[in-house]
Each structure stands twice: as C-alpha cells, then as structure tokens.
Structure 1
C-alpha cells in the first residue's frame, strides 16, 4: 500500500511512500484516443519561456531541462488505454497497469477494501492458480509490486525481453480471468495478511497519526476521511460476494491504463497489447468521483499519547487538489519551508534555536483535495508549547516576507537535476512507466508532467507568496503525539492453457572498464555511458565500524559531518551550492568501508568536482554543527529504540559478536549514546586524516564522460589531495565462535500488537569460491517472497506481513539475520515454525530441483535489468573493486549460476546453516509471550533490561 504525496521530483525515489508528481498543465498537449500518433514530447520551448519570464521580471525563473519522453497512446476498442515508450539501452521491458479505483471509491462500512483486493490479485488467476509471483521469480523480474492509494491501484514489474509474453499473459489473465479464482480461503488468508500489515504500521511510533488526521480534517462522508488500509472491523466484514462485485465493477479494460516501456518497438508493443488484452470485455464502469467541494478549514487540535520517544507536532491545512493552478506553488512552498538545511523552519527550529530534531513538510495532492502537512519532532526536554509558538511565529513571518527568488531558483535547479538522473529507470516508482501512467491518470495526457516542467520553472516569488497568504492561516488542524508515561471487444482469444515460454537468452552490453591512476596515486575505474548527461561517482575508503575502536558510531558520525561544510563553504552555503549546481554529494558508513557518493550534470561537472574535492580534502567539522548533530543523533537513537526493528538491530550484534567486537556495535550504524556524546572535533579530524587518503581509496566513475575528459578533470581537482607520511593502519577483525546451543533473549514492549522476532547466526567471511551456492541456498529458505519461511508465516498461516533473512556483506565474519514480525499470540508458534523450516531444509526437505531451477532462471535473467541505470552499474563495479575481483567477474556471473548443482547448494546449507546455534532476540509484550517461548525449550531464556 502507498499513500500519494504530491511532489514533482520525490516521485522518482523508491521509498515506502509513493509520491505523486506535480508541476504540469493538464490541458497542455492532450493526445487523441484514436489518432494512433507516435508523439514525441521534446521540451524545447525554454528559450521563448525564458524571454517571457525575463520580460515579466520573474527573478525566480530557471531554465527547465530539455527532456525527451516520446510515447504512443492508443485506446483499444474495449476501452483499454495503452501507452508505449521505446528505450533500448537495456534488454528489459517495464509494465505498469493503473486501475482507476482506490479507497475513495469504497462505500462506508467497507473501508480498506481496495487495498485488500490488491493483495488478493497476487493469489493467482483462473488459468494460473497459485502464487502470482512464482513465474516472475524464476524469470529475472525486478521492481515488482502493487500499490493502493486513495485514488488508484497499480501493478508493475520489469522483466527481461524474453519474459514479456509471460508477463503480459499473467497481467491480462488477472484482468480478464480472475473472478473464478477468488475463494473464501484466499479471502481469509489475505484478510489476515492485511490485518498484520495494519498491526505492523500501528505498532510503529506515530503509526496512527494519518488515521487521526483523516478523521479530523474531512467530514465523515468524505472519501478521504478514512485511510487506505481501513479498519479492522470493516476488513472482517468483507464478504466473498463483495470481492467478486468489486472485480466486476472496477477491474475491466475501460477502467485501466496499460503502459509498456523498454526494449520494444511501438508496433510490437501494440500487437502484444491487442493479443493479450484486446478480447477482454468491458461493462459499464461505475460513475467516477471527479471533484468534491474543498472541505472548509478546521480550527481544532488534539493531543494524544503513544509509545513514542519524543513529541511530534503535526499542522494540517486543506488545500486544492492535483491539477489546480496553485499546485506548483504549493509544492515549492513546502521546500522553502522545510526538508532542506536552508529551509526556513529547519534553520530556525533545528539549527538556530535547537528545539527540534527534524522538520518536514509536503503537499499531499490527490484527485478530490490536497493537504499541506508540516511535522516537527520536538527535542526531548524542550517545551512543546514553546516549540509550537516558535513554529507559528516562523510561519507568520514566512507568509509576510519569506519568499526569496534565489532560494526558489536553487530548489527548482536541484529538483530538475534529480529528475534528469531519475529518468534513467524505465519501471518502478518514479520510472518512465510511472510518469506516463500518472500523467494519463491525473491529467488525461501521458506527456503532461514533462510538458509541465516549463510551468514549474516559471513559478514566481509572487505565486508562492500568494498561496502562502491564502492557505497558511491560523485555521488548521494541530495534532500532537507525546510519549506515554511509561465496452465492445476485439481480438482473438489468447491460449490460456499454458503460460508462454520465457526466452532465456541474456544479451548484456556492459561498457568496458577503463582503469587508470591519478597523479596522486588514486586508482580510478571508469565505465562510459552516454544515455543521459549525468556523471555518477563512488569513492570508497577502508574504515567503517571496523575503525571505530572504542567509539562506536565514530565512522558514521564522520560521514555525517562531511556534509556540514567544506573548503570555503559553511554548512548552509555548502547545501546551497549543491542546489545551484544540481549536484549531490553524500557519505555513508558500513561495517568495513565509508563511501562518498557523487552525482552531477555533465554541464556542471567541473564546479561540482571542485565541491567534491573540498569534501574529500578540507572538511570543516565545525564545533557548533557537531554539537547540534550530536544532540539530534542522540534523539535519533531514542527513535531507534522506540521501534521494535531498530531496538532489535541495536541489541542483536553484541549478542552475536561480543560487546567489544568491531561488529558488535548496533547494525543501524548510529553507535551508542555514550560514544556519540564523547566524540570531539579532534576525533573527526583524526579519523579523516587517518583513513580518507588516496592510498586507502578507490574511485569508480560511471557516466557521460570519456577517459580523457575525466582524467584531466580529476587531476585538476583532486591532484593536490595526497596521502600523509604516516603509514596506513591495518584493521584486524577478531574471529568469534558460534554458541554451542541456541540462546533466547527477550525485550519487553508492553502493549505491543506484534512481536518482532530476530534470529542471528555468524557466517564465515565472503569468498568468491562457493558464493553462488551460498546465495542460492539462502534465497530458497528465506531470501525472497516465495521463500519457504515467508510462504509459511505469511501465505499459509497469515501470522506475519512478511518474513525474510539477510546476510550482510562484511570483510570478516558476516551476520546472517532472520526477521519475522508476527502477531503477538503466534510468537512462540512462529519461532517453532522457523526452527522446523531450517531443520527440514538441512534434513528431510533439502532444496528441490524446482527451487534451484527457478532460482537459476531468475538470477540469470535478472541480469538484464541489473545494469539499467548508471547508479546500478556504479554499485556493481564498486562492489567488484572492493572485493578485488577482475572486471570479467560481473560478466561471467550468469555462467557460474547456470553451472550450480543441487549437491553444491545442499552442501552450502550444511556448511553454513545451524538453527541449533541461533541467537534469538524477541521484542514484544512479555506478559503474553514469555511463558510460551520458555515452553519451547529452545535454550536458556534471558530478559534483557530496557531503558
């Protein structure tokens, strides 16, 4: 499930929330449904727009990027809208189907129905009963999901070209042949899964906030007055007849948009669309809710308590819907207010007054209405009344004179740069299929969002000032959550007796890796890719948690502080400079490496590299900013400890490795409160001088640049960065022994609706020898949706929303962690099932031929999409360089997987897995779970102290 928050560029990011794009003119360039025109949306009108903006004195104008997103739009005779886009850079095709139905179409008393039905759609169809993911997870499919929001439901996947017929057969089968596959058993199963999803959401801190907001800001008869996930009572009331009628009413071609994009021609795509979807009939589609009078502003407040680590303030205003004239200005206003270091509320509340740890704001745009929402996390120990007073004062000041043309230009430039980089992906959230479908759904034109960039670029100071004055009024809903004490058809019938065969040919065209060394000794690996005018880089240097010593979190803190100013730029001007250039520079920390990431437009490459150089060679680590970051960091640790997952990730590593082991620090990378409090500027300077040096680093470059160009630029910008005279320290990671028998640790979370189960096992270090067998072994038991433990706990017993296991990458012994959030009354039973699954896997039910063959097919075919974007290619090459592997290692991977045998995978299971040596950690309500867990007799049970 997703919730549709309207932001132009944020829709290009993959996160749990799907953001709707904004910034377009819905009346501009609408395509006829019958003209079959191959329409190219080349946005080349900026010169005229620039002249017009200059003439009108718009100081906030910026030039929109020149973006081509050609498409073909056609409506089949049964009413299905088909949109096709060609992109031949990778041998993959993305499919995205939007059904024009969401939670706003639910009648009162049946809330949550649209989302429940989305879950049912993954339970097989009339001609393919069983798990819908199954054929996709042996065909190399990626980016596969389904989402529901207030306005619509969509399903999407990216598949290798050879699997396209299979994917279209499956999508069309559940569009046209699903009703007969719906059973009471499947309804009950998915009802249980959705209820656990609801429990999981509500079990998280602030998990009920949007339900409170929906109820308080919309009249009870308004379709937005309930959340997409609905109520437990309504979910229980959903009947089999309701489900079948929902399918009949809404899941028909005339109520759907099909987008096909990728390595396929328009003619081929349309032929396949007619072949698979053309004979599916449409009946009368229920009348659509297209508008609803904007609800009047409410002036009320509500204060509630919950198991949260700090108070959060929500301010909510009802504003115009998607497609309104104010949409662009509302969106830009939220970026001026929050979400950036230079934003008004962040500067005042987080940096200057230091009374809050975070501030965010967004325009929540939907078809019938929009909302402006501001959220402030109050710093523990601060007066909530004082923070709210400061917030209101700052909003009042912003309304009067807070709009600055220079800031507005920076925001636009930054978001345009993100758009250019994000458009490399054809599928998934924010990919090309998503943009085309969203444009068609919300504006009736697949090109609306791209065409609308001109309007976004032309938003003026006055436009934003006007919407601020009109909507940021004292009439608002304030929610405070504080901690508790404690049609006709055409086309021939498709053969649905068998799934179309998958062409298993994988033809990868990977760019050559060019290796060279800069004058300062830094090793560089370059892969040229010239599809978009952008350059991506990754600078890795050995350090990470392994270099923390007695200060857990030091490497992470150093990474965080690198963005707090460098060279001649302090923290705010550094952030502003990135926005001006459309560049992005970030840092992250892992167990063994820290990484500096970089991306820039080709046109701004040199000045962006100069900024990158400053971060590498001359970070400021300012004392005042360190004090603020440390304070907020400590608050973030409290947030982690308030969430079952975060708490478990903090507490499990020392149980696996020991308190003083380099890997014994919290897996979140945030360290311990004592260590973070002790970090000084001198510690950061020493860490930087010790580890960030050219003889301890490697740079990977992928993008629109030649070796001659980039080598010259890198020597010019990084040439003065040299290694110190001191010898590079070594990092020795001690080995640890597995426990001789299982151990069980419990953490109390009174009143929790779910228990969070983790089981950890220390694995040997990664090795190229046997790596493929290990991955195949791990995937079948717990590594993907159709793995054994997920099918057991989610699909068979519906005790959990999802159960998985991950093996984290490390230079030394790796942590292998099983994760299963389950409903409280099934905690002990779920642990018993997990043990049984692992024991059976090692004994009477080893990996089956079908499981191995499915894994091999899926993994080999998945390579088609693995290098679709520059970022994906960069990540793969950086990992290869980190492991010291030759360039051909990536290209030869499919051959190594294809050669796997069942015996090799069985041997890997026996070599690595040992459920009788698991270290268990369970976070939950001990009054309800402790005695049943003790009765399992897995091993000694110890209750850990809680803060």
Structure 2
C-alpha cells in the first residue's frame, strides 16, 4: 500500500473497530457543585434494532458486457464523488517465488499508463482527496474522492490503467517501485514487535497455505520480480470481469451508466481468476514459541485460526472477542489491568478475511510481574470466559458500540472505510453489496448462548502461544514473509540483462477537462453562552444521527512548563478512572451501553475532552461526560495503576524509532520554552515517578476550569435542544476565585543550530531522520497561506519535491514529508525521512539540496503552482465531509484567531497568491540552514556516512527498557 490503511478485512470492520476501541483517557475541571448520582443519566439507550435500521446505503447495480460490475450510491450532501475500485486479487493469489507481487503491482499502477504519464498529478490538481491504493490478502483496491466536475477525468484515468497500462511500465519504474516497497517493508519491520505478524502466520498455517506468506512478501521474491512477471500478473488478473467499481456521492445511476460505458466499455474481458482454497487450520497440538525483540515489555499472545467472513459463526466470534479484549470494560481489562494489575495493556480481536480469520488475545505484562504468574492469570481469564460465556449486558454493550461506529462510518462516501468500500466489499466477498446489513442484523440478534457456543467451538482447539520477549533482535525481516520453503526452493535472481519483448502501442485517448467545481459551503455556525460564561459553538449537520463535541481548555502539554512534565497528560488520563460516584469499569460500561465514546486529547496549547454520541442518547452521554470532568476521584489505587501504565507507555514510546526521534528533536530545538514538552504528554521517567494524586488534583483545579473552557459541537442537534442539556450538565459549574494561569508561550527559543544528533539503535534496517528548527511565526500571520503552499511544494504532499526525489526517483524511502506546526506560539518546521540504513548520509544531502534549490535554482513550476493552488481549491469540499473534520476546523480557527468564514474565503486567498509569493515564503522559512538533524539508526552503519556532511555530530545511546536496566 502506498499509505497504509486500516489493516482489517472490511470497510465495515474498519469503521467499527476504530469507533469501538478504548477511548483515550480524559480530563476536566474543578467543581463545587454536588456530584450527581450515578443513576441520574440512566435514560434508556436506543434499542439495537433502532440502531440497525439507521444503517442504510441504498444502491443500484449494473454489469457491462465485459463483466465490469458497477454499483452506484447517491449522497448529495457535498459536490463530490468517491471512485472505488476493488480488483478481486490479493496476496493469497500469489504462487511460490512471487510473494509480495500483488502489492508491488499496486505501486506500479500509480506510475502512469499509455495516455496518463503520472496518475497522481492530474487527480491532485483536480482536487482528489485521497488518491490511494492498498493490497491485502483478498483484494487490491484503489480509491479517490473527486469534485463532481472531475468525475470524467477520474474514470478516464482508471480505465486507461485498467486497459492500457503495460506500454508505460518500464524496467526503470519496476526497479524504483521495488525499492520503495522494500523500504515500506523495512519501515514496518523496524518497529517494536514489528516481526510478530510473520511468526503468527508461520505458526498457524502450513507452508503453501494462501494466507501464510505476508502481503508485502519476502525481499528475495521482490528482488526476483521481472518485467515479464509484471505483464503476466496484469493480463492474468486485471481484467474488468475481475473488478467492482463503486461510484458514491453526488451521482446517480442514470448519469453514471453512460459514463462507465464510455470509459470502460471497450476494455476486453480477461481470464477469470481461479478460486483459492484457504480455510482455517486446526493445529494437531498446542505450540509455544518465544521470539526476542528490542521491546520494553514482555508481550504474551494466544492465537488460533477462525472461519472467514461469510461463516455463520463469525458475527459471534467478532462480538465474543470484543467482549474478551476489545471493550474498555473487557474481561481482560477488568481482570488483568484494573483488577490484578498484572498487565499494562490487553486486547483481543477476530481479524476477519474472506476465507479465514485470526483470533488473537494479547497481554503486555507489567514490568516486575513474574512471567509465570502473568501467563497463569492470562489463561485463566480465557478459561473462565469459555466456561461462563458473556452476560446479556456485555453482549448489548459490545453490539451497541460497534453499531454506533458503523453509523459514524456512513459520513464518508469514499476512502478505505466509507460507503463505497462497504458496498464494494459486500459484492467482492459475499456477492451482495448490502451484506453489511446481514452482518449487523446477525450481531444484533446474538445471545450469550450463541456467543459462548462459537467461542467454545473455536477457542478450545490447540492454541499457538507466540510471545515477544525483551532482548536483542535475532531475526531479520529481510528473511521473513515468504513462502516458507525458500531453503529448498530459492527464488531465482532476476536477470539484469533480460529484455521483455516490445509491446504494440496503445490507442490514443484524450483526458477530459475538469468541469467547474462548486464553491465550498461551510456549515452555518451558531453561538451561545452558558450561565457560567462558557462559550458554545454549534454547526448543525444532519447526515448521520450522531454528533461530536469538544471541550477545550487553555492548558495543553505546554502547561507542564509550570508544573511537572507529564502532569497534564496523566491528569487527563485519570478522568476516566473513576469519579466520586462511578468506578472506571462503570464509566466504560455506561459509554458502551449508550454507544458513546468519551476521551481526551492533548496538544501543546489545549487539553480537550471529546464526546462522540448518538443523537438519541445525547442527554445521558452529556451527563456522563460532565461527571468525569467535574467530579474525578483521583483515588490512590487508580492513580498507582495508571501511573504504572504511563511508565510502560513511555518505555514503549522510547523503543519506537520515530517517537524517540520526535521527543529528541522537540527538546533540542525548543530548549527551555514550554513547547519543549513532549507531544505525547508523557513527560520523562523521573518526572512520572515523582507525580502523586495530590499533583493530579492540583493540576485539575488549576487548569480545568470554566473560565478556560470552550465547547464546540458538530452534528445532528439544534441549539434549542443542545443548550438546555449543556446548562444542565455544566451551567452550575463555578470558576475558582483565583485568576486563571497563563503559559509563557512568548518565551525565547534557542538560536537555530545546524548539527546532527545520532541515537544508536543497533540492528535497525532503516534510519529515521527527523530534522527541524523553530520559525519566527506565531498564530495567524499574512505569511500563513503562502507558507502552506510552499510546504506543499517541497514536502507537504505525495507529489512534493522531497518525496518524488527520495521515494519515487531514488527508492530509498517509503515516504518523505515536511510540515509546519500551527500552535499559538512559535512554530516548528519539521522534515521526516525514514530511509534505508545504507542511504542515511546521502538522504540528508538530498534533503539539504532539494530545500536549498527552492526557489534559488529551481523556482516554482507552472505545474506545481496549479497543483498546490487550484488543486487545493478544488479539494476544499472534500475536506469537510465528516463532523469531526468540521469540528477540527472550527476549533483551529478559534485557536489561531481566524475569522469564522476563513475556509469559505480560502479559495480566493489561494488564487491571489502567485509563484513569487510562494517562492518568497520558501526562501524565508523553508531553507535547510540551522536545521537540527536527529537520526535514530545503527551507529556502525550510519556514522561513517555522516562524516563528510560538514555538521557537528553528537552520538547518544538509545534509552534502555525496564527489562534491560
């Protein structure tokens, strides 16, 4: 995949899992009002059948004579159309010696076709967001969401690469994309626990099973791929009869059919793809295996295969595993994290594919806990659960949480988990675009007995215990992911002199012009003020019966500059750990019954409590949110447990090369400024160890107060309905008599210092390069928009100069990007480049050269100007499809002091910016002088490459985990 999507089988599952996962812990403020009784919010939640009835995606379907299946769904809420194509081929169709080939081919699909030199440039210039693709075991998909006026262009381009790709696929393109894919593999392998998936499949499935080898494949097979292989794969699998096309959004079937016939009708049928036999496998006996890795804590897992998507047991297994370890109040959480406090995190899930699933339960053991004790408790939770089965309340809570997530997923017409993908997957996997309805109805009808029976049937089979133990990594991802019998059947090396025969020219086709794109209509904004002075902002949107709310406090991680590092994050996390009337388990269970999700979100400037709620359950959801904010208990026992979890999370963070680089860079460039606080909110080991419950109460009283609060709501509610509910929940909350604290964000920052900090992380197949410097910019400035466009040119999007150079041309990285942060105080320019270890020095040279060239030796081209201005303008309607995206925009405008109509005027602002102003912004803010480079990689490989860069080098050791100290 070019940019990895959620790695689950279905779009439905993706939406459900994203919405049903444990909420991030949250915070809120001091209250002198009496705590409400726990029963005060006990309004009856919406019935499951009512929730199921609200999940509906009407569609029409037609099939062309060449076999192309087209599904059309009409949604007129925005002038955009999602184009979703599912090719019914994935890694399970790959033969021995060709692992990773479906995914490699997906990358090649973006390199242009006979009449489209580059697939990304025209679409991004037309305002497509996103333009992407991904490969998984059962399918390869391609998605773009375009303005309605660009639909013909998107269909022309998709049809040209479906019917006329091969003349444009050259050996040079194959070699470059092979390098990109291999760096994508290295990037994944380089993460903590990054080799787990390889060993899971190896232990559960026999050699030759279609789901055994990884989708990204083995390095040897990728090296062996030839241009002839590429052509064969295309002709064997990419015919229109193996494709489902979904058009969803501002379109109807009457308009769609002639367009599809025009662009796709002339493509001939291809061979039918042979069905693959790939069912679940039962091990003959239990198996246990340990692998060592550079990780901070022991991870225990238990694994089985399970039936596929269409098996009648699958809904029960999905809900049953969610109860075991997916809910915030899951069995594993309640007994191992909150109960015996043996684990710092747990999970359980059924990862479902078309023909099988992987059942997994996982436990990250709390440092200091004996392994034998942890394993005994872990296995006992499962044994007790299989014996007892779930309760009626657990079943209802799990199903409600998942249904709430699916309702929220209906906001998007496209992408990897929107309505287009849901319809496509129903057709591809089940022969029915509306298969999601059967899934939801089956889940709503589940009983404790049916779930217990399914769990007993599948989890009582021999288990594969795969455990990741802290220690030196002894395995290399380069040797993993293949067929499994490479010793007996090595992949033949590609012949560098082999020549594929020439192909006849493809027919000439002309791209249609982009029609005028409708102007952005940002939702109308209403304002109110609660009795205690809290300002309320509402944008009403009725596309789905849900809403999102944010309560922002002027605090954030920068507030830790006045307290102890890590205070704000831990205090926020404590909010869901208990109030004066509710325990953490009761809080989690009540959210699940309501289909609500309460969490917290920290940034440099703000501490935020968020709520996602069904409109029908808004009143009790608000009451629960208010209790968390106004009446946190900060109990000693809860604090001790949560602090231990935070300390383990910090250790996990420090074991991630990218996170370690980010924390190091922030501290280096901001010095003693409040923004030097880590953006993960975890502080440092010493500060975390010193924190107490009294510190939590003090920070809560100091920062979470109504005179530092703002409430923003977006969704299906009127102000007449909303304000009385907010008054009831928060209106009596009184501010302390003391003046609110003020963060010194106007403090000085250190002078920029060009240097390299090398952090030695042995056995790293990639180096993570992070570079940055503080810019002399704060808040909203006249340079804001020219700088945004200049950043897009140099590194801010897929077609940026840095990404095209280091990823697409050189093949050294899976992706390079630049960003400019937008806090209220001084901003940070940042460059991110994970690169293969042996190209670290060369990549830094390329970064410096590319940044220096803009605009001095390589000014903005006409193509770049059109893409970053007109493309951005055309993309505006796509950017506010969801309630969450509108909520973010409103809050950002308020934080930066922008006018409310900022986004509606943005098109005119962009059109008034020429190449000269963009170049001036690049010259002023985006030059490489003064960049501090942080490199996390293998010193023995990397340091010799840095010697001739002309920059001072400081070498540090990577932090040790708790098991290593």
Matching residue within 900, 910, 935 for 2:913:
900
Aligned pair in 2 of structure 1 residues 712, 678: CA closer, same or farther (>3 Å)? same
- 8 Å contact kept, 1:560–1:588: no
Where 2:52 maps in the other structure, the secondary structure is: coil
Paired with 1:496 and 1:554, the residues of 2 have a C-alpha distance of 64
Check if 1:262 corresponds to 2:249: yes
Residue in 1 that maps onto 2:14: 11
Deviation at 1:504, TM superposition (A): 3.8
- 8 Å contact kept, 1:219–1:295: no
Deviations 1:813-848 (A, max 9, x none): 111110101111111011011110111114211222
Paired with 2:443 and 2:208, the residues of 1 have a C-alpha distance of 34
Where 2:133 maps in the other structure, the secondary structure is: strand
Deviation at 1:236, TM superposition (A): 0.8
Deviation at 1:753, TM superposition (A): 0.7
Question: TM-score, structure 2 length as denominator?
Answer: 0.90
Paired with 1:354 and 1:500, the residues of 2 have a C-alpha distance of 62
Aligned pair in 2 of structure 1 residues 89, 327: CA closer, same or farther (>3 Å)? same
Where 1:667 maps in the other structure, the secondary structure is: coil
- 8 Å contact kept, 1:6–1:362: no
Aligned pair in 2 of structure 1 residues 293, 945: CA closer, same or farther (>3 Å)? closer
1:560-575 mapped onto 2 (5 Å cutoff): 560-566=573-579, 568-575=581-588
Matching residue within 70, 82, 94 for 1:94:
82
Deviations 1:640-666 (A, max 9, x none): 1111101111111111011x3211122
Deviation at 1:232, TM superposition (A): 0.6
Residue in 1 that maps onto 2:113: 125
Check if 1:789 corresponds to 2:802: yes
Q: Tell which deviates more after alignment, 738-747 or 313-322.
A: 738-747
Residue in 2 that maps onto 1:507: 519
Deviation at 1:16, TM superposition (A): 15
Deviation at 1:702, TM superposition (A): 1.4
Paired with 1:620 and 1:502, the residues of 2 have a C-alpha distance of 58
Residue in 2 that maps onto 1:674: 686
Where 2:446 maps in the other structure, the secondary structure is: coil
Where 2:130 maps in the other structure, the secondary structure is: strand
Paired with 1:632 and 1:670, the residues of 2 have a C-alpha distance of 11
Deviations 1:394-438 (A, max 9, x none): 111111013111111111111111111221111112210011011
Where 2:60 maps in the other structure, the secondary structure is: strand
- 8 Å contact kept, 1:523–1:698: yes
Paired with 1:576 and 1:709, the residues of 2 have a C-alpha distance of 26
Matching residue within 70, 76, 81 for 1:82:
70
Figure out how many residues of one structure are paired with residues of the other and give that number: 898
Deviation at 1:102, TM superposition (A): 0.5
Deviations 1:222-255 (A, max 9, x none): 1111110111111111111111010001101100
Residue in 1 that maps onto 2:489: none
- 8 Å contact kept, 1:746–1:922: yes
Q: Tell which deviates more after alignment, 63-72 or 441-450.
A: 63-72
Paired with 2:897 and 2:584, the residues of 1 have a C-alpha distance of 36
Residue in 1 that maps onto 2:238: 251
1:175-190 mapped onto 2 (5 Å cutoff): 175-190=162-177
Residue in 2 that maps onto 1:687: 699
Paired with 2:17 and 2:802, the residues of 1 have a C-alpha distance of 26
Deviation at 1:749, TM superposition (A): 0.8
Check if 1:731 corresponds to 2:743: yes
- 8 Å contact kept, 2:323–2:331: yes
1:888-927 mapped onto 2 (5 Å cutoff): 888-927=901-940
Deviation at 1:930, TM superposition (A): 0.8
Paired with 2:10 and 2:812, the residues of 1 have a C-alpha distance of 35
- 8 Å contact kept, 1:60–1:408: no
Where 1:64 maps in the other structure, the secondary structure is: helix
Deviations 1:340-396 (A, max 9, x none): 331111122211222211111111222222221112112222222221111111111
Deviations 1:126-176 (A, max 9, x none): 1112x3211122121112211111111100011111111111111111111
Residue in 1 that maps onto 2:758: 746
Residue in 2 that maps onto 1:543: 555
Deviation at 1:451, TM superposition (A): 3.8
Check if 1:863 corresponds to 2:876: yes
Deviation at 1:510, TM superposition (A): 2.7
1:316-327 mapped onto 2 (5 Å cutoff): 316-327=303-314
Paired with 2:839 and 2:214, the residues of 1 have a C-alpha distance of 27
Deviation at 1:516, TM superposition (A): 1.6
Residue in 1 that maps onto 2:182: 195
Residue in 2 that maps onto 1:214: 201
Where 2:208 maps in the other structure, the secondary structure is: coil
Deviations 1:507-530 (A, max 9, x none): 333332111211111111111112
1:517-536 mapped onto 2 (5 Å cutoff): 517-536=529-548
Paired with 2:660 and 2:750, the residues of 1 have a C-alpha distance of 22
- 8 Å contact kept, 2:81–2:145: yes
Paired with 2:948 and 2:703, the residues of 1 have a C-alpha distance of 50
Residue in 1 that maps onto 2:894: 881
- 8 Å contact kept, 1:296–1:318: no
Where 2:512 maps in the other structure, the secondary structure is: coil
Deviation at 1:337, TM superposition (A): 0.7
Paired with 1:811 and 1:285, the residues of 2 have a C-alpha distance of 57
Deviation at 1:852, TM superposition (A): 1.6
Matching residue within 696, 701, 710 for 1:698:
710
Residue in 1 that maps onto 2:590: 577
Paired with 2:574 and 2:518, the residues of 1 have a C-alpha distance of 43
Paired with 1:252 and 1:652, the residues of 2 have a C-alpha distance of 49
Paired with 1:297 and 1:676, the residues of 2 have a C-alpha distance of 47
- 8 Å contact kept, 2:299–2:363: yes
Residue in 1 that maps onto 2:94: 106
Deviations 1:298-335 (A, max 9, x none): 52121121111111122111221111010000001111
Aligned pair in 2 of structure 1 residues 595, 666: CA closer, same or farther (>3 Å)? same
Deviation at 1:471, TM superposition (A): 1.6
Paired with 1:645 and 1:476, the residues of 2 have a C-alpha distance of 34
Aligned pair in 2 of structure 1 residues 946, 3: CA closer, same or farther (>3 Å)? closer
Deviation at 1:737, TM superposition (A): 4.8
Check if 1:441 corresponds to 2:428: yes
Where 2:154 maps in the other structure, the secondary structure is: helix
Deviation at 1:761, TM superposition (A): 1.0
- 8 Å contact kept, 1:522–1:695: yes
Q: Tell which deviates more after alignment, 116-125 or 660-669.
A: 660-669
Q: Tell which deviates more after alignment, 167-176 or 706-715.
A: 706-715
Question: TM-score, structure 1 length as denominator?
Answer: 0.92
- 8 Å contact kept, 2:51–2:403: no
Paired with 2:512 and 2:568, the residues of 1 have a C-alpha distance of 51
Where 1:819 maps in the other structure, the secondary structure is: strand
Deviation at 1:624, TM superposition (A): 1.4
Over the aligned positions, Cα root-mean-square deviation in angstroms equals 2.2
Check if 1:363 corresponds to 2:350: yes
Paired with 2:147 and 2:517, the residues of 1 have a C-alpha distance of 9
Q: Tell which deviates more after alignment, 814-823 or 846-855.
A: 846-855
Aligned pair in 2 of structure 1 residues 219, 3: CA closer, same or farther (>3 Å)? farther
Paired with 2:716 and 2:809, the residues of 1 have a C-alpha distance of 49
Check if 1:404 corresponds to 2:391: yes
Residue in 2 that maps onto 1:805: 818
Aligned pair in 2 of structure 1 residues 838, 738: CA closer, same or farther (>3 Å)? farther
Check if 1:634 corresponds to 2:644: no
Deviation at 1:807, TM superposition (A): 1.5
Q: Tell which deviates more after alignment, 313-322 or 784-793.
A: 313-322
1:596-635 mapped onto 2 (5 Å cutoff): 596-635=609-648
Deviation at 1:721, TM superposition (A): 1.3
Deviation at 1:116, TM superposition (A): 0.6
1:252-291 mapped onto 2 (5 Å cutoff): 252-289=239-276
Matching residue within 380, 393, 402 for 1:393:
380
Q: Tell which deviates more after alignment, 544-553 or 230-239.
A: 544-553
Paired with 2:720 and 2:535, the residues of 1 have a C-alpha distance of 15
Residue in 1 that maps onto 2:44: none
Deviation at 1:98, TM superposition (A): 0.3
- 8 Å contact kept, 2:755–2:933: yes
Where 1:575 maps in the other structure, the secondary structure is: helix
Residue in 2 that maps onto 1:71: 59
Deviation at 1:736, TM superposition (A): 3.6
Which structure is richer in relative contact order (CA contacts within 8 A, separation 6 or more)?
A: 2
Residue in 2 that maps onto 1:50: none
Matching residue within 655, 658, 677 for 1:645:
658
